[in-house]
Amino acid sequence: MRQVSIVGIGQVPVQKVYSESLRWLGATAVRQAMAHAGVDQVDALFAGNMLSDELQNQKHLAALIADEAGLFGIEALQVRAATATGAAALRMAYLAVASGEAELAVAVGAEKMSEGAATPALAKALDTKQEVAAGATLISKNAELMQLYMEKHGMPEDGLVNFAINAHQNALTNPHALFHKPISAEDVLQSRFIVPPIRLLDCSPICDGAAAVVLAPSQAARAYTDTPVHILASSVATDRFRMADRSNPLALEAAALSAQKAFQRANITAEDVSLYEVHDAFSIMACLLLEAAGFAAPGYGWRLAADGEIVLQGKVPIATMGGLKARGHPIGATALYQTAEIVQQLTGQAGPNQVPNAQVGLLQSVGGAAATVLTHVFGV
């Protein structure tokens, strides 16, 4: 199997509402990433998008983005894993290059959530027959997890506030982020309940965006860039689909299993990770992922945040460019933004957000109520 590296990145600034089309967003990120890699052609394009079926009435998006980007003739396929979809596109591009079927592949994620009702479409990441029919949404499932966590581990009401505070702080200096305003613990605790105990500022925002990365065989990477970033591992794992079927819903077994597989493949431990782009769609999810990936014992994830260890200079810097909470979470694009941000960090190009001596970046992406989790490890 060939080693695979990232040789170009592209990020369209996240916005609440773009007037431009979904295809324009996707094609723009593709062209940016290709320009960054210094190439005008690729062999394959793998597109991640979750909501265009409902919001844009469009079901053939990879070929449409390839056409919009002027990439006639190339392979183009769409990949999905609900809210982890961007990472699925990255994995497919990785497989295409690793296998030798593509010399240059672009993974792109694009989402335009502002055109229509995103929330009911997002709920389709759950089991429609058994969960959605009973009134569940992604927010209510995360609220269940937070409630369970507070009860089991005695976490105080303000236990998670630093996740949102850190994300907003880091977004301040990221030009691609949606939010550029700091928030306080009071802001979080005084924001309205969405589904108790989850409040508005525990949630990532609905927004529009697109990001892309160009992949090449590591052996050839320096033909495109002086600073390639290597994909040290790519893994996927699933859990019992319905949270109700899991013996311990707080354990996020798909996250733990995919992290174990990826760490083994990359030959690292959690201690080697310089920064962790976590799936902080909800603060409780970031907390549980810190535990599942091995950065904290069960019941101690929130303390990492409370103790100030998740900031740029902390023990486990997370959401270093704003995270899902403050950079924004345009679903299918999110993991590609995170990948681009890890590339910025590992190449020393994160500006005021730079994590000191960043050598290894970790990315985890959560599909639905963690029925699917993808883990990627990056190094230089």
Is the Cα dihedral 35, 38, 44, 49 positive or negative? negative
> Would you count residue 1 as binding its own copies (CB under 8 A)?
yes
H/E segment holding residue 291:
helix 283-292
Distance of alpha carbon 117 from alpha carbon 16, whole angstroms: 14
Q: Which stretch binds its own copies (CB under 8 A): 58-66, 174-182, 305-313, 355-363?
A: 58-66
Joined together, the tokens standing for residue 10 give 């592209």
Q: Which stretch binds its own copies (CB under 8 A): 127-135, 321-329, 349-357, 358-366?
A: 127-135
Q: In terms of Cα–Cα distance, which of 28, 24, 21 is closest to 10? A: 28
Residue with tokens 């999905």: 80
Q: Could you tell me how many residues make up the chain?
A: 380
Residue nearer to its own copies on the CB measure, 94 or 282: 94
- Give the residue, chosen from 202, 239, 277, 309, that forms a contact with its own copies under the rule CB under 8 A: 239
Binding residues for its own copies, total number by CB under 8 A: 63
Residue with tokens 């902080």: 280
Q: Which stretch binds its own copies (CB under 8 A): 51-59, 148-156, 208-216, 273-281?
A: 51-59
> Would you count residue 60 as binding its own copies (CB under 8 A)?
yes
> Would you count residue 141 as binding its own copies (CB under 8 A)?
no
Tell which positions 287-346 bind its own copies, by CB under 8 A.
Answer: none
> Would you count residue 64 as binding its own copies (CB under 8 A)?
yes
H/E segment holding residue 258:
helix 253-266
Residue with tokens 């019941």: 299
Give min distance, CB of 104 to its own copies, in A. Answer: 15
Q: What is the DSSP letter of 129?
A: T
- Give the residue, chosen from 234, 338, 364, 375, that forms a contact with its own copies under the rule CB under 8 A: 234
Q: Which stretch binds its own copies (CB under 8 A): 78-86, 107-115, 195-203, 353-361?
A: 78-86
Distance of alpha carbon 346 from alpha carbon 359, whole angstroms: 6
Residue nearer to its own copies on the CB measure, 229 or 254: 254
Q: Which stretch binds its own copies (CB under 8 A): 211-219, 230-238, 296-304, 313-321?
A: 230-238
Pair 330, 207: CB distance under 8 Å: yes
Distance of alpha carbon 109 from alpha carbon 337, whole angstroms: 8
Distance of alpha carbon 311 from alpha carbon 320, whole angstroms: 8
Dihedral angle at the C-alpha atoms of 327, 329, 332, 337, nearest 10 degrees?
20
Give min distance, CB of 1 to its own copies, in A. Answer: 4
Residue nearer to its own copies on the CB measure, 238 or 347: 238
> Would you count residue 131 as binding its own copies (CB under 8 A)?
no
* Non-local CB neighbours of 288 within 8 Å, separated by 6+ positions: 145, 149, 250, 252, 255, 301, 370
Joined together, the tokens standing for residue 169 give 């702080």
> Would you count residue 58 as binding its own copies (CB under 8 A)?
yes
Name the site residues for its own copies (rule: CB under 8 A): 1, 21, 44, 50, 53-54, 56-60, 62-64, 66-68, 71-82, 88, 91-92, 95-96, 98-101, 121, 124-129, 132, 234-242, 245, 253-254, 257, 367-368, 371-372
